Chains A and B, each alone.
Chain A
Amino acid sequence: MAEQETTLTDQVRELIDQNPVLLFMKGTPSAPRCGFSMRTVQVLDSMGVEYGAVDVLPVLQPLRAVTSEISDWETFPQLYVNGELLGGCDIVEEMFETGELAEVLGVEQPAGDAPAAEVPVSDEPYKSPPMTIEGS
């Protein structure tokens, strides 16, 4: 198992390196499977920024071990910006409210208040394909 974990760690590092804005989340942006992931997606969507999203559910426990090792953080969602862990849902929301998130992402703060809760959590069973990590 040690070899597999090493590979997963390398793959996660690569994903973080290759995606300036990367969200590890439960479910997908169109069908989040957790309220905290959903709220983080709503904030990101409201910023109008492109981001990569990785569904952690198919590999939850191994990924926890990996992010614990590389970022000292085990819970999801996790938002990485320019290779650094910015935080989970509460930090992202807080930074959105203060305008720091727009600054970090290099975009304009969207007009209006906090993003509307308009993305419903799907009632369907989890159907997304397993996380695919592409090699370089």
Chain B
Amino acid sequence: MAADLEELKGMIEAALPGSSAEVIDETGTGDHLRAEVSAPQFEGKSRIDQHRLVKAAVRERFDDGTIHALTIRILG
């Protein structure tokens, strides 16, 4: 099952109010994705905590196997 990039974008932006996310399919296979996210919630947080916030937002799609790998890029 290929990931729905718009759904993932929506999940991130809903979990982090005020954020802006772009989700890109890196390999064209729908399961290796890159998320580029900027969010006010990132301020003052370590990188790992910033990534945790993004991963938590889309955890459901990891758990059901839709996403295999998600590269996260935090836009400052």
Q: Which residues of A contact B (CB under 8 A)?
A: 36, 72-75, 85-88, 90-91, 94-95
Interface residues of B: mostly helix, strand, loop or mixed?
A: helix
Q: Is the CB of B71 within 8 A of A73?
A: no
List 19 interface pairs A-B (beta carbons < 8 Å), by A numbering: A72-B52, A73-B52, A74-B62, A75-B69, A85-B48, A86-B47, A86-B48, A87-B47, A87-B48, A88-B51, A90-B51, A90-B71, A90-B72, A90-B73, A91-B47, A91-B48, A91-B51, A94-B47, A95-B47
Interface residues of A: mostly helix, strand, loop or mixed?
A: mixed
Q: Known contacts A75-B69, A88-B51; can you find 9 more A-B pairs with CB under 8 A?
A: A36-B69, A74-B62, A85-B48, A86-B47, A87-B47, A90-B51, A90-B71, A91-B47, A91-B48
Residue of B nearest to A93 (CB): B71
Residue of B nearest to A90 (CB): B71
Give B18-48 as 1s and 0s: 1 = Cβ < 8 Å from A's Cβ atoms. Answer: 0000000000000000000000000000011
Q: How far is the CB of B68 from chain A (nearest CB, A)?
A: 10
Q: How far is the CB of A69 from chain B (nearest CB, A)?
A: 14
Residue of B nearest to A85 (CB): B48
Q: How far is the CB of B53 from chain A (nearest CB, A)?
A: 11
7 nearest CB pairs, A to B: A87-B48, A91-B47, A90-B71, A85-B48, A87-B47, A72-B52, A91-B48
Q: How far is the CB of B70 from chain A (nearest CB, A)?
A: 9
Residue of B nearest to A92 (CB): B47
Q: How far is the CB of A55 from chain B (nearest CB, A)?
A: 19
Measured between beta carbons, the chain B residues less than 8 angstroms from A91 are: 47-48, 51
Measured between beta carbons, the chain B residues less than 8 angstroms from A85 are: 48
Measured between beta carbons, the chain A residues less than 8 angstroms from B51 are: 87-88, 90-91
